[in-house]
Amino acid sequence: MVRAFLFLFLAHLALVIAAIADCLGGEQAPRKLTRGWWVPIILLVPVAGGILWFAVGRARPRPQTGPGRPGSSFGPRTPRGPIAPDDNPDFLRDIDRRLRDENKED
């Protein structure tokens, strides 16, 4: 019985910590109420406060539009990070040039 209560307490504590961290660490403003209202709700309403935060208060991510984004009509997506060597046209041209130079020497 003690183990069950300990588990429920730790689950509640994890929910409260996650909800507070998400509430205070978000970049976008919460829906419905301000952060100043959400923190006491999460802390003072035992389980429902955290559940309400995740269900009602948490800001939904805004859909990003632009080149290559869903809902965009600007054309193909351009990669932002490093390009794999077999997708990099400069790398492929360089390999082709090296192979031609090696074949000329033979």
Give the least confident one: 39-43, 65-69, 83-87. Answer: 65-69
Mean pLDDT of 29-33: 84
Q: How far apart are CA 5 and CA 26, in angstroms?
A: 31
Mean pLDDT of 12-29: 89
Give the least confident one: 8-17, 73-82, 84-93. Answer: 73-82
pLDDT at 74 over 80: no
Q: What is the rounded average pLDDT for all residues in the chain?
A: 81
Q: How far apart are CA 30 and CA 22, in angstroms?
A: 10
pTM: 0.55
